[in-house]
Homo-oligomer: A and B are copies of this chain.
Amino acid sequence: MPSYIIEKPLDPWQAISEHQEKMQLDTQFGATATFVGTMRDFNDNSDVSAMTLEHYPAMTQHYLDKLIAEASEKWDLLDVLIIHRVGDILPSQAIMLIACWSAHRKASLDACSWLIEELKHRAPFWKKETRPDGDRWVAENTDGF
């Protein structure tokens, strides 16, 4: 149940596909729930042309692994994959992905939703947006609406 912090562009569907192909559990899971976060070219009614994601490397990795461990205690998960980009990101590029595999659907769906909320509130990443009027740190995560 790995987590990766990467600097290069990410093809989320290929990454999930490749991870799944390596799993030894391919006839045991009946459900896969995934969430992919992608960079938009607008936020809070302003254009955004680029973004830089700063993080706290040791703590970030620790927290992603901790979230996966907690999710595995809460739900019957066969595998989990988290990949989060850092560094410079452009609109339409994937920022992060979460994928959860389970025998039955409820575990994977609930774990995936829980993981994205926890990640948003607990994993030490910070977004700085490039806007027409200059660079600006994103002040706070939204509730997802």
Q: Do the beta carbons of A28 and B40 come within 8 Å of each other?
A: yes
Please tell me the number of chain A residues within 8 Å of chain B, measured between CB atoms: 40
**What copy number does this chain have within its complex?**
2
Nearest chain B residue, comparing its CB with the CB of A32: B36
Among B14, B26, B38, B109, the residue within 8 A (CB) of A30 is B38
Contacts of A16 in B (CB 8 A): 13
Query: Is chain A's interface secondary structure helix, strand, loop, or mixed overall?
Result: mixed
Q: Which residues of A contact B (CB under 8 A)?
A: 11-14, 16-17, 20, 26-42, 91-92, 103-109, 112-113, 116, 142-145
Residue from the list B14, B29, B36 in contact with A38, Cβ < 8 A: B29
Contact of A37 among B31, B92, B142, B143 (CB under 8 A): B31
Chain B residues closer than 8 Å to A26, beta-carbon distance:
38, 92
Please determine whether B104 and A109 come into contact, CB atoms closer than 8 angstroms. no
